[in-house]
């Protein structure tokens, strides 16, 4: 937008494609991993599709209609189908391969759904944009604009949910990313050929027929090289990686074993933030997480998991044993797991889960009986063991749960310990830290959070036992790497 305005102000011609790619370049320059964000990819390809195909589809459709109807009738038909059908088709030409690759399904009702939803989108953008701009000056003055945007958003979301419930709304499609890339190659080649003048199209068609085998071989060689590079970038390196994801005031930890098995512990508060962080950890073609652990139903631990089961194949979900009815968002997580065939297991102290590669998870809490008054005390707590390296996490378990763990006598010592409850004073008690004796304490907390996490008392206790404190609010995502003997860590915003 800035590019277009500046070009107009200087009296220079503006180019939609240049502005789109400039915007994409700036976004990825500021945040390089944006390139792997699904939302960015879909938005970028949808916009590019509109630029490439909307006018052409409209003109082609008008020409076909003029063959069978008069101009007045064609004008009336085009007024109806232009936005409802043609614009949607133009956007979907380039987004459809991505949607197949990521979501493994094709929507059969996108056209009627978009026909009803598109008219509301200008209201969303205009009122939402005004609310954002005015909100920078005064949140109170922005409220009327926000409420206006809310009406259009509510209409949109209600329709999306209604269409999503239609039986047979989507057809499952299981294709590889190799196939997706070939689809894009075909679309690109077809687009280039179509926009050529008729005489040039005929000449190129002849050349293609003559040199098809050579071009196919070249394309296959390029594709093979691309796949080899991508595959190598996503390969496990024979070491254990534990990434404490920067999800703000919440918890999410991603673990990759030496051979590439993947475990996610909690998901933070926002699905979009979790998806962004996972995009930095998991290759774009890898759609499986071997194990997900939801330590307890609090929103700052499980809200991010809401759509995870639709995006990844997840064989097993481990919970603290709480069932439906704890909260709407927790219900959505459990229902999403069940709908996608994920086995839901309850963690019980004393059990050991063999992950493979010499990695095991020892469950140290909760026991058979759950605390009905404070669900933080039921948080799934596990000790990960790999060679001489140990890691302990306790969710939001508070001092009562810590006392129970101490009384049970199970091993709690750990090289790395994730501070309970984001560094709250109600957790990480002095006796518990004395038993764990960690070298490193990780605190997952949001920058300038309203709770004051981590609390000064907890930081003092860490100092008393000589532990180094690493904080996501200061360092961003923190990754601990070990070969089972030595350990090192790194951080990135």
Q: Evaluate if residue 261 carries a pLDDT over 90.
A: yes
- More confident: 250 or 327: 250
Residue owning tokens 């889960």: 353
pLDDT at 8: 47
Using CA atoms, how far apart are residues 105 and 124, in angstroms rounded to an integer? 27
Q: Measuring CA to CA, which residue among 399, 388, 374, 282 is closest to residue 322?
A: 374
pLDDT digits (tens, 9 = 90+) for 443-482: 999 998 999 999 999 999 999 999 999 999 999 999 999 9
Does pTM top 0.85 for this prediction?
no
Separation of first and last alpha carbons in the chain: 27
Q: Taking residues 420-440, report their average pLDDT.
A: 95
Q: Evaluate if residue 199 carries a pLDDT over 80.
A: no
pLDDT at 221: 52
pLDDT digits (tens, 9 = 90+) for 22-39: 788 888 777 766 777 777
pLDDT at 152: 92
At 318, is the pLDDT very low, low, confident or very high (cuts 50, 70, 90)? very high
Q: Measuring CA to CA, which residue among 317, 310, 335 is closest to residue 325?
A: 335
Q: Within the chain, how many helices (H) and strands (E) appear? A: 18, 17
HSE (CB half, 13 Å, CA atoms) of 320? 32
pLDDT digits (tens, 9 = 90+) for 61-96: 888 888 888 888 888 888 777 766 777 788 888 888
Q: Taking residues 299-323, report their average pLDDT.
A: 92
pLDDT digits (tens, 9 = 90+) for 139-163: 899 999 999 999 999 999 898 888 8
Q: What's the maximum distance between 2 C-alpha atoms anywhere in the chain?
A: 87
pLDDT digits (tens, 9 = 90+) for 181-196: 888 888 888 877 776 7
- More confident: 242 or 182: 242
pLDDT at 398: 94
pLDDT at 129: 87
For the chain, give the mean pLDDT.
Answer: 85
pLDDT at 139: 87
Give 258's contacts (C-beta < 8 A, 6+ positions apart): 236, 237, 238, 239, 240, 357, 358, 359
H/E stretch holding 401: helix 399-408
How many of the other CB atoms lie within 10 Å of CB of 75?
12
At 222, is the pLDDT very low, low, confident or very high (cuts 50, 70, 90)? low
Give 100's contacts (C-beta < 8 A, 6+ positions apart): 106, 173, 175, 180, 183
Using CA atoms, how far apart are residues 100 and 351, in angstroms rounded to an integer? 39
| Cis amide linkage into residue 191, ω under 30° from 0 | no
Is the separation of the CB atoms in 254 and 237 below 8 Å? no
Secondary structure of residue 172 in the 3-state scheme: strand
Encoded tokens for 290: 């071997």
Q: Evaluate if residue 5 carries a pLDDT over 60.
A: no
Using CA atoms, how far apart are residues 465 and 434, in angstroms rounded to an integer? 7
Is the separation of the CB atoms in 478 and 491 below 8 Å? yes
DSSP assignment of 96-155: HHHHHHHHSEEESSHHHHHHHHGGGHHHHHHHHHHHHHHHTT-HHHHHHHHHHHHHHHHH
Q: Measuring CA to CA, which residue among 93, 89, 63 is closest to residue 78?
A: 63
Q: Evaluate if residue 9 carries a pLDDT over 80.
A: no
- More confident: 209 or 440: 440
pLDDT at 180: 84
């Amino acid at each position: 937008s800035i590019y277009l305005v500046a070009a107009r102000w200087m009296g220079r011609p503006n180019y939609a494609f240049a502005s789109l790619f400039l915007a994409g370049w700036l976004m990825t320059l500021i945040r390089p991993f944006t390139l792997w964000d699904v939302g960015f990819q879909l938005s970028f390809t949808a916009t590019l599709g509109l630029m490439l195909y909307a006018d052409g589809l409209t003109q082609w459709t008008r020409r076909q209609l003029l063959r069978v109807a008069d101009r007045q009738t064609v004008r009336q038909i085009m007024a109806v189908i232009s936005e409802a059908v043609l614009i949607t088709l133009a956007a979907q030409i380039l987004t459809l391969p991505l949607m197949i690759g990521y979501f493994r399904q094709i929507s059969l009702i996108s056209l009627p759904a978009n026909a009803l939803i598109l008219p509301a989108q200008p209201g969303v953008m205009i009122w939402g944009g005004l609310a954002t701009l005015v909100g920078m000056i005064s949140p109170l003055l922005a409220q009327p604009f926000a409420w206006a945007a809310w009406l259009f958003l509510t209409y949109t979301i209600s329709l999306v949910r209604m269409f999503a419930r239609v039986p047979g709304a989507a057809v499952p499609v299981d294709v590889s990313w190799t196939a997706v890339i070939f689809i894009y190659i075909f679309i690109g080649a077809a687009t280039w050929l179509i926009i050529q003048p008729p005489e040039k199209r005929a000449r190129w068609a002849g050349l293609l027929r003559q040199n098809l085998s050579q071009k196919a071989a070249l394309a296959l060689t390029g594709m093979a090289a691309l796949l080899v590079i991508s595959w190598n970038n996503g390969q496990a390196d024979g070491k254990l990686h534990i990434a404490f994801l920067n999800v703000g005031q919440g918890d999410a930890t991603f673990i990759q074993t030496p051979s590439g098995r993947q475990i996610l512990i909690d998901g933070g508060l926002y699905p979009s933030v979790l998806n962004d962080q996972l995009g930095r950890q998991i290759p774009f073609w890898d759609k499986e997480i071997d194990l997900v652990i939801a330590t307890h139903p609090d929103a700052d631990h499980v809200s991010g998991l809401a759509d995870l089961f639709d995006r990844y194949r997840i064989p097993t979900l481990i919970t603290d044993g709480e069932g439906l009815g704890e909260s709407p968002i927790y219900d959505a997580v459990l229902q999403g797991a069940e709908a996608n065939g994920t086995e839901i297991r309850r963690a019980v102290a004393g059990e050991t889960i063999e992950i493979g590669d010499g990695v095991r998870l020892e469950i140290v809490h909760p026991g058979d009986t759950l605390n009905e008054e404070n669900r933080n005390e039921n948080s799934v707590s596990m000790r990960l063991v790999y060679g001489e390296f140990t890691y302990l996490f306790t969710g939001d378990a508070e001092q009562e749960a810590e006392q129970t763990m101490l009384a049970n006598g199970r091993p709690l010592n750990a090289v790395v310990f994730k501070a309970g409850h984001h560094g709250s004073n109600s957790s990480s008690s002095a006796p518990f830290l004395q038993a764990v004796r960690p070298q490193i304490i990780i605190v997952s907390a949001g920058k300038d959070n309203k709770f004051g996490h981590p609390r000064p008392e907890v930081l003092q206790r860490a100092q008393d036992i000589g532990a180094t404190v690493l904080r996501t609010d200061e360092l961003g995502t923190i990754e601990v790497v070990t070969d089972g003997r030595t350990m090192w860590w790194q951080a990135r915003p």
